Amino acid sequence: MILTLTPNPSVDHTLEVDRLIRGEVLRVGSTRAQPGGKGVNVARALHLAGADTRAILPVGGGGGAELTTLLGDLPRLTVPIEGETRANVAVTETDGTTTKLNAPGPHLSPAETDSLLAALEDELSERPAWVVASGSLPAGAGDDLYVRVAELAAAHGVALALDTSGKPLEAAVNAGSVALVKPNLEELSELSGRPLTDVGEVTAAARELIALGNGSVLVTLGGHGAILVGPEHVWWARGPRVRTRSTVGAGDCALAGFLIPADSPVERLRHAVAWGTAAVSLPGTTIPSPDDVNVDAVEVVPDPDPTWPIDSLVDRP
């Protein structure tokens, strides 16, 4: 069982246009509404892959009712709140450029936050293999919410995978005990307080997190693949070139791919890049099915040259 916790889920509306032009009236080619939120996306990908998973999330208002309907048969545990579940908008252009408009979400009261954590603790008592804490935090939850999640996971002996940004990410990694930290390049750069332009700089920044008492770090690099940094080893992987339809949720699918049981960290990394690559080739927050995923097309390089610039990785022979 892999649990996911999404404190700030959403209904994601995606509009496809030829080109986004400010101040103009644009013709929309297609629209879709899909369940959103990073942990929700991870759970959806795991569910399609046939993994045993359950999503934990707060829901409220008409947006919460719509989200619950859109989740379909996804195994889930919903916690009712007074506020309205948010709606996000993504505009995707034919060249793959994605513009996201993310709403802040509802305000969680202390009692609602406690209810969400109590629901999580009930599930943790069943000893799942992983718990994934993912996404932004709604107002009222406190920047230390994922620290509290880490403490609960540690108390029950459950590995925690964390995918967030900003102050919640900083608080959680400084507290330690995160088994897998999954930032993208921008998030890791912000956390480290410096630009990260080559493989060596990314590796050094990731190892700073490991030195704080965390486990491995999976850094997603968009079209340049992903780097997995452990206490002793580093691997870089890239997938095949594909036409990018939407980048929304690609990192979540990569995390889901990594969590699918595999024989080694290298195989987990290979699955992560394969699932992320498949996701960007699909519109909106569409989750790839196993038939969309080509693990064999992913190349893994152990101990990549630390001087390689990140923006050159996609063109490496």
Half-sphere exposure of 267 (CA within 13 A, CB side): 5
Q: What angle do CA 246, 71, 184 make, to 5 degrees?
A: 40
First-last CA distance in the chain: 39
C-alpha distances in Å from residue 166, one per residue of 16, 36, 148: 29, 20, 17
Per-position b or e across 200-216, b if 16+ CB within 10 A of its CB = ebbbebbbebbeeebbb
User: Residue 118 burial (CB < 10 Å; 0-12/13-18/19+)?
Assistant: exposed
| Residues in CB range of 295: below 8 A, 6 or more apart | 270, 271, 274
What is the maximum alpha-carbon separation in the chain?
55
Question: Could you give the CA distance from residue 275 to residue 253 in angstroms, rounded to a whole number?
Answer: 6
List 144, 252, 263, 292, catalytic entry:
252
Half-sphere exposure of 88 (CA within 13 A, CB side): 25
Number of residues assigned to the chain:
317
Question: Could you give the CA distance from residue 159 to residue 261 in angstroms, rounded to a whole number?
Answer: 13
18 noted as active-site residue: no
Answer whether 252's CB lies under 8 Å from 216's CB. no
Residues with catalytic roles? 252
